[in-house]
Amino acid sequence: MTNNQKVGWKLDNSYARLPETFFTDVMPSSVRSPRLVILNQDVAESLGLSVEALQSDDGIAVLSGNKVPEDATPLAQAYAGHQFGHFTMLGDGRAVLLGEQITPAGERVDIQLKGAGRTPYSRGGDGRAALGPMLREYIISEGMHGLGIPTTRSLAVVSTGEPIIRETELPGAVLTRVAASHIRVGTFQYVAKWCGVEELKILANYTITRHYPEVKQSATPYLTLLQEVIKRQAYLIAKWQLVGFIHGVMNTDNMTISGETIDYGPCAFMDTYDQATVFSSIDTQGRYAYGNQPYMGVWNLARFAETLIPLLDEDDEKALKLAQEEISKFADLYQANWLTGMRAKLGLFHHEEQDETLIKRLLEMMGKYKADYTNTFRALTIENFNDESALLSSEEFMDWKTEWEQRLSRQEESKGSSQQLMKQSNPSVIPRNHRVEEALKAAEDGDFTVMERLLKILADPYAYSPDQEEYCKRPTTKIPYRTFCGT
């Protein structure tokens, strides 16, 4: 039996059959002494991989980049992007795509090593990653998966036994990322800018085949592709807003065409409700603040639409008008997703005209009283209004609560049904920033039990179980929280 058969690798690389300008063949760089830090059994089994074989020396060699599976065709993808509004050439500067695993369900998913060494797109970087940021991506992506939000996932993190230099010397690591694909808005920007219309058409057709096969039946496939990508992003960003997730670096190279959340660098979850919340140390102007995420989403989608202009119509003016019409629909799509989600968070099954006002009044009060976003909805869900929250003890909240209860009473559904809907829509726990940092610090000191406990809690955030109580608490420190991109 070959090592491929032992592990369960069934790799192909359809991306490698695209024009050579789309990527560069590159091997992952070997590391000194790889050690498996964490393996995601759930992801491994969904991929059809043997957990036992992945934990072997041969399995760890692949996860670290020291060995390449037999059918892998490693490459680094080229792409461009608007980074904080400035357009530039990018590409996989520290990631290597091993190939696409064909899962037992017949799905095709990317297997990528992040932190696997320098590539032609490294732009002066070392191509490596530190243990902390890789474990952070593992924790947050698993938290997002538990919350039911489309996301890339992590198969494993392997420490390299080699230090890397950032502000200080840090332990190195490689993360194995699993994604529907790594095709980004920035991928289309790269091809539109530096390749020809024929190559653009090839990329669009490939994307349709891989992610939107139903679009092939459309009389206007490229316009329909744009429509579908807009729909997925409107859904995704609404999901972010509903749980208080802040991506932190919504550059066009970090928006996937598949509609998955990708790149968990300076991301974080909001504690105190505030539309202006920013955690990223590099977002000094608040471009990607919590409240700006829907606007930045449509801005990114407009950049995607621009790349498709040559495919939408032979008449550029007509093509531009078609693109603008579709982009203009994002706001309504997003708002519909967000309102549906907010109604569910308040236990409302049906539409009433004044619902939006009811929701906005609650959010305004949360901002005024600096209330915890997640815990406010948790309190409404379990009817716990006895804590010391300034919001919940205020007279205006009690007036709002009366109005909300009257709204609930006008439904045919029972109070129990409403509460169940709220439990399914309001997480009891999120990856709170102080808990994530606590886990990362312990891991960097060699203690992985703190992270393992956190991951267990985050696996079922809607459980409302007694063991989640401790993880619902806000941080005791008032020090402003800051995140960093890890490169």
Residues recognised as catalytic: 253
Q: Cβ distance 301 to 233 under 8 Å?
A: yes
- Smallest Cα–Cα separation from 233: which of 208, 256, 200, 205? 256
**Positive/negative CA dihedral, 319, 320, 325, 331:** positive
Backbone φ, ψ for residue 68 (5° rounding): -115, 130
Distance between CA atoms of residues 49 and 103, nearest Å: 9
Q: Can you give the C-alpha Rg of the chain in angstroms?
A: 23
Q: Cβ distance 179 to 262 under 8 Å?
A: yes
Q: Cβ distance 76 to 26 under 8 Å?
A: yes
DSSP per residue, 324-389:
HHHHTTHHHHHHHHHHHHHHHHTT--S--TTHHHHHHHHHHHHHHTT-BHHHHHHHHHHT---S--
- Going by the DSSP 8-state scheme, the letter that residue 19 receives in this structure is -
Look-up: residue for tokens 């439904």? Answer: 411
Q: Cβ distance 359 to 346 under 8 Å?
A: yes
Sorted by sequence, the CB contacts under 8 Å of residue 370 that are 6+ apart come out as 272, 273, 274, 390
Q: To 10 degrees, the CA torsion angle through 73, 255, 359, 328?
A: -130
Distance between CA atoms of residues 96 and 378, nearest Å: 41
Sorted by sequence, the CB contacts under 8 Å of residue 158 that are 6+ apart come out as 31, 34, 35, 36, 37, 60, 63, 64, 173, 174, 176
Distance between CA atoms of residues 39 and 54, nearest Å: 8
**Positive/negative CA dihedral, 98, 99, 102, 107:** positive
Q: Where are the alpha helices (DSSP H) in 3-148?
A: 3-7, 41-46, 51-54, 57-64, 131-146
Distance between CA atoms of residues 105 and 396, nearest Å: 52
Distance between CA atoms of residues 205 and 227, nearest Å: 15
Query: What angle, 0 to 180 degrees and rounded to 10, lies between the N-to-C axes of helices 316-327 and 221-243?
Result: 30
Query: What angle, 0 to 180 degrees and rounded to 10, lies between the N-to-C axes of helices 197-211 and 185-194?
Result: 160
